[in-house]
Amino acid sequence: MAPIGKLNGPTVNFRNYKARVVAEFLGLDIEITPKFELGVDNKTPEYLAKYPSGKTPTFESADGFSLTDSSAIAYYVASKSGSDSSLLGQTPEETAEILQFILFAESDFMPAALGVFAPILGFTPLIKPALQQAEQQLARFLGVLNDLVVDRTFLVGERLTIADV
């Protein structure tokens, strides 16, 4: 099977994993850029001409459609599965709930998690009050997720969706 497109960005990166996990789950092939160097390749004139924000990951479909943002890319990849759209929800309500969890992950959970782990791993300076605040937020968000999955297997319904990725 020919790749459905090319995913640009560092191979080892949690944001790139979303689209790759979705593609693998659905049996879709995505070309990756194993030698992509963050801060170098995404700053070239060619890259910036196509993706002016310089963000990664980015995606270009086999027919030339371009996209940025890991969640948007994962959603697009899931939509390429043809009739198997179960990862995207089967009703408008499920789809909205999936989107709710994607936005929760992007706007609440990940900033708190990065606020905890980035200074611990040495990616950012450790500022104790900021770390303590991030730890409190992360604990609260983990509690919310824990309470949700007490009586269900997945975040939305009883099957895997991109909300779980």
Q: Are residues 21 and 65 in the same domain?
A: yes
What residue type is 84 in one-letter code?
D
Regarding whether 91 and 61 lie in a shared domain, the answer is no
Whether residue 105 sits in one domain with residue 63: no
Q: What pLDDT does 84 receive?
A: 62
DSSP state of 89: -
The answer to whether residues 113 and 91 touch, using CB atoms and an 8 Å cutoff, is: no
Judgement on whether residues 48 and 106 belong to the same structural domain of the protein? no
33 has a pLDDT exceeding 80 = yes
Compute how many other C-beta atoms are within 10 angstroms of the C-beta atom of residue 93: 11
Nearest one of 32, 17, 29 to 105, comparing CA atoms: 17
Single pTM value for the model: 0.89
Answer yes or no: do 39 and 76 share one domain: yes
Average pLDDT over every residue of 146-156: 92
Q: Which domain holds residue 64?
A: 5-84
Banded model confidence at residue 158, pLDDT cuts 50, 70, 90: confident
pLDDT at 82 over 80: no
Q: Are residues 19 and 77 in the same domain?
A: yes
When the pLDDT of each residue in the chain is averaged and rounded to a whole number, the result is 93
